[in-house]
Amino acid sequence: MELMNTRRTWWVLALGVLVACRAAAGAEWRPAVVRLSDGTTVTGSLYIPNDSIQIYDAARRRRYTLRPAELKRLETIIERQGLEERWLFRQSGLDDKVRTGRYYPVREYRTRATFHDGRQVSGHVIAKTVHVRTEDRRLRYILRHKHEGDVGQHLGDLVYVRSIDFLGEGAGASGSIEGALTLPAGETLRRVVAINREKLFSAEAAVNPASGRFRVENCTEGEYDLAVVTDRAIYLHFGREADEDAGRLNAEQVAEIQEWVDRLRDFFHSQTVLYAAGNPERAFALVRQERRGGTTLPGLELLHRYEVWAMHQPEEEWQIEKRFVLWRDAGREQSIRRLEVVLSPELSGHSVCADNETVALEARLRRASEPLIAPPPEEEAATPPRREETVPTPDEE
């Protein structure tokens, strides 16, 4: 049995290496210069798995998905560093700590990304391995937020990537989406969310409920769909409807997704697909989630949330790639209102790029909407062949 487990382990490892090698072979290698903290400089071709880097800005509560083609430079900035003492718990289950008198180095970093247009975003990078290929060797480096060494090491032993310069020009840019919304009488603007449907991340706008004005800053390149949340409705539209070989999902398709959703084990007691658009390669769905009771919070009768799910169907089962929370509410059931969903095509398909860095939108939102779910395709009714009738002649009568 032990021999079989060992063979299985080696087979899994070999398969993982093979997959990684094939992915790297088919990836786009970009010319770059990598500089390390110990003074080493490596010039060659650089590959980043999944062709993306994620940076989280805690101050803005924003997660940025960056493509190497958009970037001119990545820099690592030291936020905090020092030696920390190793400690142990005196006894399991107790908070009493025992200090060992042995120290190890710790360093925390912030990553700053510069686009080809000179604009920048910064934050904590989600750990990522980058591959560098030169004429005679292949190297791997890790971009990280926190770096810990071993006991006895010093800060100088923690070698990190100081910078990556991407050679050549590119069209990468960051811009903004801003404008003014006119709502139906009596409605109050709560939230505006911009969803990048190519890179699958969202950004919340700064809003002025009194004037209806909003602004989303630091939007990296891509196409965005907006979702507007008021105290009575959610206004949105998925630009996926307009893509080739895609469209608004009909009743049969939504029922198929709903059947799959109903089988999921989830915190919420009910999850209802209200609207969806796309195809099996990539679809977006608006889902209403509700949980009645069953929590430790006093007086909490209903948890109510609306999410957008980015999904795909590689085989028979659908899979959720990313969830975007549009609105959540909690409290006594009679105090929580179910929001109406209104399709507003003017909110979808807004492109941010080097030639269009600022998207300006002026929109008057109305509660009139097309059906959220398209009817199933109508089958042509089978009509019986028409029988020729003969009119008798006078001689035949």
What is the 3-state composition of the chain as percent helix, strand, coil, each rounded to the nearest 5? 15, 50, 35
Please tell me the predicted confidence (pLDDT) of residue 19: 43
Q: Are 77 and 109 in contact (CB under 8 A)?
A: yes
pLDDT tens across the length of the chain (397 residues) = 444 444 544 444 444 444 444 444 446 899 999 999 999 999 999 999 988 899 999 988 888 888 888 899 999 999 999 999 988 876 676 677 788 889 999 999 999 999 887 888 899 999 999 999 999 999 999 999 999 999 999 999 999 999 999 997 776 667 899 999 999 999 999 999 999 998 888 989 999 999 999 999 888 888 999 999 999 999 999 999 999 899 999 999 999 999 999 998 888 989 999 999 999 999 999 999 998 877 777 767 888 999 999 999 998 889 999 999 999 988 888 888 899 999 999 999 999 887 788 899 999 999 887 899 988 776 434 444 444 444 444 444 3
148 and 71 within one domain: yes
For residue 282, give both structure tokens: 């990539």
Please tell me the predicted confidence (pLDDT) of residue 293: 79
Asked if residue 148 belongs to a domain, the reply is: yes
State the total domains in the chain: 2
55 and 178 within one domain: no
Asked if residue 37 belongs to a domain, the reply is: yes
| Residue 208 phi, psi dihedral angles, 5° rounding | -120, 100
Q: Are 268 and 262 in contact (CB under 8 A)?
A: no
Where do we find the tokens 């080097």? 354
Q: Are 98 and 88 in contact (CB under 8 A)?
A: yes
109 and 214 within one domain: no
181 and 154 within one domain: no
Q: Concatenate the DSSP letters of all residues of 199-215 into one string.
A: TTEEEEPEEETTTTEEE
Own/partner pairs, 293-298, CB within 8 angstroms, 24+ separation: 294/269, 297/330
| DSSP 8-state symbol, 250 | B
Residue where one domain finishes, among candidates 166, 197, 222: 166
Residue where one domain finishes, among candidates 166, 185, 205: 166
Q: Are 349 and 223 in contact (CB under 8 A)?
A: yes
Asked if residue 63 belongs to a domain, the reply is: yes
* DSSP H or E segment with residue 255: helix 251-262
262 and 336 within one domain: yes
Asked if residue 376 belongs to a domain, the reply is: no
Q: The domain containing residue 243 runs over which residues?
A: 174-364
148 and 185 within one domain: no
51 sits in the region (left: phi over 0; alpha: psi -120 to 50; else beta) called left
Residue where one domain finishes, among candidates 166, 192, 208: 166
Question: pTM of this prediction?
Answer: 0.70
Other C-beta atoms lying within 10 Å of the C-beta of residue 271 = 19
342 and 202 within one domain: yes
Please tell me the predicted confidence (pLDDT) of residue 173: 66
Measure the CA angle with vertex 127, ends 122 and 132; round to 5°: 95
Rounded Cα gap, residues 283 and 253, in angstroms: 11
| Residue 317 phi, psi dihedral angles, 5° rounding | -90, 140
Please tell me the predicted confidence (pLDDT) of residue 21: 46
200 and 299 within one domain: yes
* 74 Cβ neighbours under 8 A, 6+ residues apart: 53, 111, 112, 113, 114, 143, 161, 163, 164
Q: Concatenate the DSSP letters of all residues of 343-366 into one string.
A: E-GGGS-EEEBTTB-EEEEEEE--
196 and 343 within one domain: yes
Please tell me the predicted confidence (pLDDT) of residue 292: 85
201 and 84 within one domain: no
215 and 355 within one domain: yes
150 and 248 within one domain: no
Please tell me the predicted confidence (pLDDT) of residue 264: 87
